[in-house]
Amino acid sequence: MEPEATIKRKVARNVEYYIKSAFKVFFFILFIILVTLLVGYIVMWLWNWLMPELFGLKTLTYWQAVGLLFLAKIFFGFGSGGPGKGNGKRKFRKKFSKEKCGGLRRDFDDWKLYDRFWKEEGENAFKNYVHKIKGDEEDEKTS
């Protein structure tokens, strides 16, 4: 068995950890509430400053501004969190499309060489084609 002092230290560390975690959660929730209140006030202030003057709309109360902000978040989404976020979805889509269209995708790999071909042989091939078509048309006219 472990000595009593070691057990007391472990218990003290666990208690300290849980108290710190509880304070972090509490202050995080408080921070979110304050940011929400501040953003609601900013939306109300901007609306009441711009919209009545520009478009002749009515002014908003604070709670109407918060409701409008919430409604806009529902309609337009809550965001992906900025650049670099959502890469998992893109990777999944890319992998899924490769698996789903694997055979078809190989056909498009040849198109990478199209520009080089056109520079090297394309103009001459086009001139030969035009000459061949004009020759066929002349043959049809004469017969």
Tens-digit pLDDT profile for residues 102-139: 555 556 666 677 777 777 787 788 788 888 888 877 77
pLDDT for 47 equals 93
64 part of a folded domain: yes
36 part of a folded domain: yes
Same domain, 73 and 102: no
Q: Which amino acid type is present at position 41?
A: Y
pLDDT beneath 50: ranges in the chain: none
Same domain, 23 and 73: yes
pLDDT for 12 equals 92
Same domain, 107 and 59: no
Backbone angles phi, psi at 82, to 5 degrees: 105, -175
Same domain, 104 and 44: no
Same domain, 9 and 73: yes
pLDDT for 118 equals 77
Same domain, 129 and 63: no
Same domain, 26 and 57: yes
53 part of a folded domain: yes
Same domain, 125 and 67: no
Tell me how far apart the alpha carbons of residues 134 and 24 are, in angstroms, rounded to a whole number: 82
Tell me how far apart the alpha carbons of residues 42 and 50 are, in angstroms, rounded to a whole number: 12
Domain count, the chain: 2
pLDDT for 130 equals 83
Range of the domain at 34: 1-78
Tell me how far apart the alpha carbons of residues 39 and 34 are, in angstroms, rounded to a whole number: 9
126 part of a folded domain: yes
pLDDT for 34 equals 95
Q: Which secondary-structure segment (H or E) carries 113?
A: none
83-98 in b/e form (b: 16+ CB < 10 A) is eeeeeeeeeeeeeeee
